[in-house]
Amino acid sequence: DGGITQSPKYLFRKEGQNVTLSCEQNLNHDAMYWYRQDPGQGLRLIYYSQIVNDFQKGDIAEGYSVSREKKESFPLTVTSAQKNPTAFYLCASSPRDVGRSEQYFGPGTRLTVT
Amino acid sequence: AQSVTQPDIHITVSEGASLELRCNYSYGATPYLFWYVQSPGQGLQLLLKYFSGDTLVQGIKGFEAEFKRSQSSFNLRKPSVHWSDAAEYFCAVGNPGGSQGNLIFGKGTKLSVKP
């Protein structure tokens, strides 16, 4: 079945540690995205990538980093510089240019940092 | 700049009653418009989309939405709500003419269904 997988579903880390969230898609989509979701805030864009080896900052990129070495994969690293990392993180992909088509979402990773 | 407003944070309806969730957008031209649904702890699922053409769009799970250019609205409707429709609903707008950008999401409307 085609789709987007995110792992793990739940992730716990100590403050000061970097953590990497996995996102893989087998939809052959060009564009991929990372969003952060907090209660009452909707979805806020962290980073997006239209093609391999290229990515752009979204609205809240500070404290996060990404890579796009393969079309299928777009991992997100939450660094120790992110002041409030506890949140629900959603990965998405789309088949065409950003903003021009619907996005397909993974099941999300809930990160808790204590 | 584009923006999306969902005026209702939380709506409660009785099972079997009709539903309308409001969405207003700000954009200089006709945007791409989307409605997504999210169950607790899950990802978002696309309900329907509008790119052009017929302004009444049919989606999955019995939902429909109507694009009204004069009101800058894209309200989601369902004639008879089922208990399984309880979830959070997000309206989103895309930028068909932009070289940058992505989908801009509203802050969501949480739907509760009374038995």
Q: How many angstroms separate the CA of residue B51 from the nearest CA in chain A?
A: 9
CB within 8 Å: B43 and A102: no
A98 to B102: CB separation less than 8 angstroms, yes or no: yes
> pLDDT higher for A50 or B59?
B59
Residues comprising chain B, all counted: 115
**How many CB atoms neighbour CB A38 within 10 A?**
12
Question: What does the pLDDT look like over B27-38, one tens digit per residue?
Answer: 877 788 999 999
C-beta neighbour count of B15 within 10 angstroms: 14
Residue A98 has pLDDT above 90, yes or no: no
3-state secondary structure chain B: CCEEECCCCEEEEECCCCEEECCEEECCCCCEEEEEEECCCCCEEEEEEECCCCCEEECHHHCEEEEEHHHCEEEEEECCCCHHHCEEEEEEEECCCCCCCCCEECCCEEEEEEC
Average pLDDT, integer, range B87-92: 96
What residues have CB less than 8 Å from B3, skipping those under 6 apart? B25, B26, B104
- Give whole-number Cα distances, A43 to A6, A13, A18, B59, in Å: 17, 22, 22, 22
Q: Which tens digits make up the pLDDT trace of A3-18?
A: 999 999 999 999 999 9
Which residues of chain B neighbour A106 with C-beta distances below 8 Å? Answer: 43
State which residue of chain B sits closest to A38, comparing Cα positions. Answer: B107
CB-closest option in A40, A41, A48 to B102:
A48
Q: Estimate to the nearest angstrom the gap between the alpha carbon of B60 and the chain centroid.
A: 12
Q: With an 8 Å Cβ cutoff, are A101 and B44 in contact?
A: no
Query: What pLDDT does A99 receive?
Result: 60
**Which residue does chain B place closest to A107, by CA atoms?**
B43
At B2, the pLDDT band (50, 70, 90 cuts) reads: confident
Q: Do A4 and B106 touch (CB under 8 A)?
A: no
Angle, alpha carbons A73-A74-A78 (nearest 5°)? 140
User: How many Å is the maximal CA-CA distance in chain B?
Assistant: 47
Query: What pLDDT, on a 0 to 100 scale, did the predictor assign at position A73?
Result: 98
pLDDT exceeds cutoff 80 at A68: yes
Residue B78: CB atoms within 10 A of its CB come to 21
Q: Which residues of B touch A105 (CB under 8 A)?
A: 36, 43-45
User: Which residue of A4, A41, A110 is in closest CB contact with B107?
Assistant: A41
Lowest pLDDT segment from A16-30, B34-48, B69-83, B94-108:
B94-108
For residues B77 and B54, what is the distance between their CA atoms, to the nearest angstrom?
16
